[in-house]
Chain A
């Protein structure tokens, strides 16, 4: 009997020692040194901030907002520049400027762009997943701040993907709106569905974000509002667009106060700007405007856009003083200025332009345009005498967009939204057969 009870004792000991719960914990808890497992990264608020920084760094990549989606491909497709030499410019940029979106260089680029945008979205989704799972970890308002920021960025990236890869019609095919890290493919809805999902994310973000956070190097509540105005205008909901734009302006948190031509990005007026790592940034813009590419704006075209008078700050886009007599290319002052590596993603002036476009009468519209013009040192206001009707107002708005957003990648979206005829695009560059405002998607 003694032996039997001994046996039972020993066996029970065995079982207790190696009970499943203990085992799983032991095996699970294996942090890998140097490689940082997500459980480690997301163990502190700092880690969440670092992964968000990682997202901004990904957005600042050459393929995305660091180069091609701003001053590169999108600016060329947006016809910001007239000097685009087929021999010296990279093939990609030339194809973009001539709307040859089915060319190999373009499809290769757009595939990379698509993959990289979605890789960034996947990072946001994994971050969001962890925010929800570790809700208890956050102090103060941080849960709301992080979650709001992530949702807002997710909408921002999806909205830009939609504007590049889908036609503008609400019934046309949209893009996959990816909200989780999952190997399964998300099907594309219609453009309308995609926009609805963007709005849903932005609305949720707006509710979470604080109105008093005025940092503009991150996506904040005011960035969300500005983006909503841009988005509603894209789906032609002028009432809601104006409502959001007005909310930004009336908040009085941002003002058109810059009074010099030192910073042509007018960074202080940004609702959301993205910092591109300086070393990379200067290499990026030199690769476009410097030798051998030498893309740029001819002096005559500069005059055509900004007028003969030199009062408009923005006319300093190309500052002849930064070049030299030996023929070294003249680099645009807009990009070459110190701190120009904080790239504007959403600007206050756009909100004025949105209001001008949504205005019910020409006078109201001109009023909004004039406020921006005055801030840009154009003291003579536009009046209904020069701009008698809605069509003339539209022309003025287009002109203001061209002046304000040169090299920022916004013009492509503007022409697309306006469904501008390809023959009506500025500058006498060739246009490929069957041009389109829609990029070729890789899947």
Chain B
């Protein structure tokens, strides 16, 4: 429709109305006019209030009340009545003679602009014209689930979004989550030439984000790519909605970046009207969860140490005696009542406050908004926390048919790491050490030296330092990031059908980190004498990242009869650059000299200044067309062409396609209106998407300069690795089938989706003949297959708008499984390394096999736990009985006997929620659950069997539940008396593979909206003030008990919030 046709239509209407009026006068002469009563409902039977009902050809009009009822007076018999409602098909009805009661059912029309759209970040498309798989969550919904962490709220609501639980970093406020959508299509990064650990980095650099976690989805903020860090630090009040794009049809417009799925964040746009001020404040308390720790107390520990033989030496009477002296000394401490509870030393209740103020409004062509946010959050470790400050504005101005808008955001985040050190150092600390001396000062060295006590040998375990002592020093350990973003949009509506959008986005951020450890810090304790002038260190990181993106989009919309065509054409250019420099200096004697420049010098022999630089250029063009016929059939096709500087020189450009079909069964004529099913829509899509999360030097021949050597005082450079000019983007073929069903007039809505993602050109190393000059090179050699399903059921049980009572219950579940379909021969060598008793890279590491190491085999799942099958503990000897590959039994553990034991990926993961609104009260409960996965209980085996009692405390079960004497039926093997080392070792065994099922109360929210009729609300000129209390991770039932959070403890959080408008 364009404006011309509307005008001509209006003219035609006027003529018709005149004609009709004549008719009306004519009929009025013959028949008595009546009042017609009726009701207007939607297709699921809900009354529509505010629908317009008119007698066609007259000015006789009325509106429905809140129950959808209407009464139109003075209607001529046999007249045509028309009911219309925004966003719905208009229905006309001819009155039968004598009929005075009518009923209208207005179906959703898919083509009106008010209708729900899916925002892919590049273009918006009405749901009816969309065939892909996408889910949209409003900012409000996310805020209700978790007002402090949008990412974890998203993971609770959407079964396809998963955050890997981090048992090491726990609830560290400064650690970014490891995020995946629909599982992983990549092998671990270390295989693919990346860094060893897949931990997200928070340095604000787009590229390094992906290199560290190649499975990370693409994150789009208002049309431009952004970092996980930005989303993590974002004020939840700014978010209008978040859309998770999953399948090929939804994501293919992003081409070579789309394979991991896309998260699209749309921020709130200014709303016209008079100035509106919104203020919201959230206070939160993080409560540390120490229930999973079950440590020995002073007396128990000393006994366990004695049993392990730490205080005896059967081979040397002299040492034996000296060690007994130490035992007696420590026993004396225990007897005198020393039993320090170290766990509570570094923890606190973390308090936080998040205040947001926003102003917005606009009249005529101008709209504006302005926001301020201050968010401070303490962690549960003392002195740790994250402070965020941000400011943003958004202005838009409409001139004729061109809308200009500009938005700007400035943010500053400072993350403080606890100066108290790693939580593990407190878990490990011996309870028979005093924490403070008689004067209440923290003790630095926890035990007197052997010479002070006049003992002839050093204490077993060496010198113990008090990590808490560092809290008295001026230690600095923090990171900051200052970010600046400016986006400009020009939207030009050439006609009603054709719209052009041009955007230019610029973002820059400067990460920094400082770490200062003065000479008095306990980390230098062992080196005080050796490195005297060089103790104390200061490390500084400075970086600068910037991204410049430009976008041009054209969208075209055409309706012809029952057909609708939507087309979008777009191009995106992006240039990112990042660099950072790290400098470390040594020799700072005092803690008040905490400056880089006050150090003694560089320790240039071991620590060099480091710089990293990266520059990428990307280009992406897409064309997407969607065709809808009669609201019944939809076909969509999208093509994308991506180019990137990261690809090999022979394949700089990649083309991706996706197509989808949707069939709205309920709109078929043969689909009779019935009381059971009202909505039925089937959609299917297939297409390819790419992944370019690899380092750019794999594809181009790089020369390295040799500074250490020279050839006759001339510098030389050589190339050491083989660049593969044919290296391609990784390509994933995604197929998705979905079915939407609505039952019982909207009382039950169900959504089922099945997906399959196959990747068959993963980048892996290939060993080549050494006479080529290189050991291996990277090529597209690997393949994975990922299959799964997602189900969502929503049941709005009560919808009583009259009494303002609503109750909705929903359940969702998701499953996926990734298997390896192709590998390069070089992986065999890697597998062999994982299968040897000693670490091939570090022969000194005797504890190499105490953790399950991955094994990659075609046909096997990527997330299999490989361990040696165990029959348990032999009651006669206390030793573990293993099953060898040939089925025989042995006491000897051998890495070659490892077998795939269980799968870590849960069979089902999902959530169940209940939303209840009763008058002004809100009660929101969300449970998240997981079923059918397994986990190697690393913390259990490490705290009970892989213990080093000489150096650290351990779980109480070391003493109580390990095998002691023949006949004991224990699940833990016997302690081995090993006085020399105190080590107890258990290599990876099926005994510690446990079911990882859990049900947890992820979020409980209670809210109250003060009625605007309340006196004080009126007096304070407020409108709709709202109170909200949210409690996260309140209760957890799990089949596996682990110490959650080794270097940083887990926390439960309680939030209290108020928001109001003025």
Contact with A along B765-783 (1 / 0, CB 8 A): 0101111111101010000
Q: Are A32 and B494 in contact (CB under 8 A)?
A: no
Which residues on the B side are within 8 Å of A125 (C-beta)? Answer: 773
Contact with A along B401-436 (1 / 0, CB 8 A): 000000000000000000000000000000000000
Contact with B along A200-238 (1 / 0, CB 8 A): 000000000000000001000000000000000000000
A3 within 8 A of partner (CB)? yes
Q: Are B702 and A119 in contact (CB under 8 A)?
A: no
Inter-chain CA distance A50–B705, complex, in Å, is: 9
B569 within 8 A of partner (CB)? yes
Candidates B653, B766, B770; contact of A443 at CB < 8 Å:
B770
Q: Are B619 and A27 in contact (CB under 8 A)?
A: yes
A111 within 8 A of partner (CB)? yes
Inter-chain CA distance A220–B768, complex, in Å, is: 33
Inter-chain CA distance A7–B766, complex, in Å, is: 50
Q: Are A114 and B770 in contact (CB under 8 A)?
A: yes
Which residues on the B side are within 8 Å of A184 (C-beta)? Answer: 772
Residue ID in chain A nearest B773 by CB atoms: A122
Known: A27-B618, A34-B611, A275-B711. A54 touches B773 (CB 8 A): no
Count chain B residues whose beta carbon lies closer than 8 angstroms to a beta carbon of A: 61
A185 within 8 A of partner (CB)? yes
Candidates B643, B652, B653, B773; contact of A119 at CB < 8 Å:
B773
Q: Are A26 and B718 in contact (CB under 8 A)?
A: no
Q: Are B715 and A186 in contact (CB under 8 A)?
A: no
Contact with B along A1-23 (1 / 0, CB 8 A): 00100110011001001101001
Residue ID in chain B nearest A7 by CB atoms: B498
Nearest-CB distance from A275 to chain B (Å)?
Answer: 5
Inter-chain CA distance A119–B705, complex, in Å, is: 16
Q: Are B697 and A183 in contact (CB under 8 A)?
A: no
Candidates B552, B709, B712, B719; contact of A217 at CB < 8 Å:
B712
Nearest-CB distance from B722 to chain A (Å)?
Answer: 7
Q: Are A11 and B554 in contact (CB under 8 A)?
A: yes
Q: Are B615 and A32 in contact (CB under 8 A)?
A: yes
Candidates B571, B703, B779; contact of A36 at CB < 8 Å:
B703
Contact with B along A239-258 (1 / 0, CB 8 A): 00000000000000000000
Residue ID in chain B nearest A30 by CB atoms: B645
Inter-chain CA distance A114–B774, complex, in Å, is: 11
Candidates A27, A35, A123; contact of B645 at CB < 8 Å:
A27
Nearest-CB distance from B84 to chain A (Å)?
Answer: 29
Q: Are A60 and B718 in contact (CB under 8 A)?
A: no
Q: Are A37 and B701 in contact (CB under 8 A)?
A: yes
Q: Are A280 and B717 in contact (CB under 8 A)?
A: no
Residue ID in chain A nearest B643 by CB atoms: A27
Which residues on the A side are within 8 Å of B709 (C-beta)? Answer: 57, 60, 277, 280
Inter-chain CA distance A164–B613, complex, in Å, is: 43
A181 within 8 A of partner (CB)? yes
Inter-chain CA distance A381–B784, complex, in Å, is: 78
**Chain B contact residues, majority secondary structure:** strand
Which residues on the B side are within 8 Å of A122 (C-beta)? Answer: 719, 722, 772-774
Q: For chain A, give the interface size range.
A: 35 or more
Inter-chain CA distance A20–B619, complex, in Å, is: 11
Candidates A6, A14, A182; contact of B552 at CB < 8 Å:
A14
Number of A-B residue pairs having CB atoms within 8 Å of each other in the complex: 185
A178 within 8 A of partner (CB)? yes
Contact with B along A24-43 (1 / 0, CB 8 A): 10111111111111110100
Which residues on the A side are within 8 Å of B644 (C-beta)? Answer: 27
Which residues on the A side are within 8 Å of B777 (C-beta)? Answer: 183
Q: Are B719 and A26 in contact (CB under 8 A)?
A: no
Candidates B571, B621, B653, B708; contact of A24 at CB < 8 Å:
B653
Which residues in window 1003-1029 of B have CB below 8 A to A?
A: none
Inter-chain CA distance A442–B772, complex, in Å, is: 13
B984 within 8 A of partner (CB)? no
Candidates B554, B618, B716, B772; contact of A53 at CB < 8 Å:
B716
Q: Are A6 and B772 in contact (CB under 8 A)?
A: no
Which residues in window 482-514 of B have CB below 8 A to A?
A: 494-495, 498, 500
Q: Are A38 and B770 in contact (CB under 8 A)?
A: no
Q: Are A185 and B773 in contact (CB under 8 A)?
A: no
Residue ID in chain B nearest A130 by CB atoms: B701
A138 within 8 A of partner (CB)? no
A51 within 8 A of partner (CB)? yes
Known: A18-B621, A28-B645. A443 touches B769 (CB 8 A): yes
A126 within 8 A of partner (CB)? yes
Nearest-CB distance from B554 to chain A (Å)?
Answer: 7
Which residues on the A side are within 8 Å of B772 (C-beta)? Answer: 118, 122, 178, 181-186
Known: A36-B717, A118-B772, A183-B772. A24 touches B552 (CB 8 A): no
Q: Are B702 and A36 in contact (CB under 8 A)?
A: yes
Candidates B616, B645, B697, B771; contact of A186 at CB < 8 Å:
B771
Candidates B498, B705, B773; contact of A181 at CB < 8 Å:
B773
Task: Show 18 A/B contacts (Cβ-Cβ < 8 Å), sorted by A.
Answer: A6-B494, A24-B652, A30-B617, A31-B615, A32-B614, A34-B613, A38-B700, A50-B717, A51-B718, A52-B716, A54-B717, A56-B716, A57-B718, A58-B718, A119-B720, A126-B719, A183-B722, A443-B769
Interface pairs A-B: 9 shortest CB-CB: A122-B773, A53-B716, A54-B718, A30-B645, A54-B716, A185-B769, A33-B613, A53-B711, A277-B709
User: B interface vs A, CB < 8 Å?
Assistant: 2, 494-495, 498, 500, 552, 554, 569, 571, 573, 579, 611-619, 621, 643-645, 649, 652-653, 696-697, 700-706, 708-712, 714-720, 722, 724, 766, 768-775, 777, 779
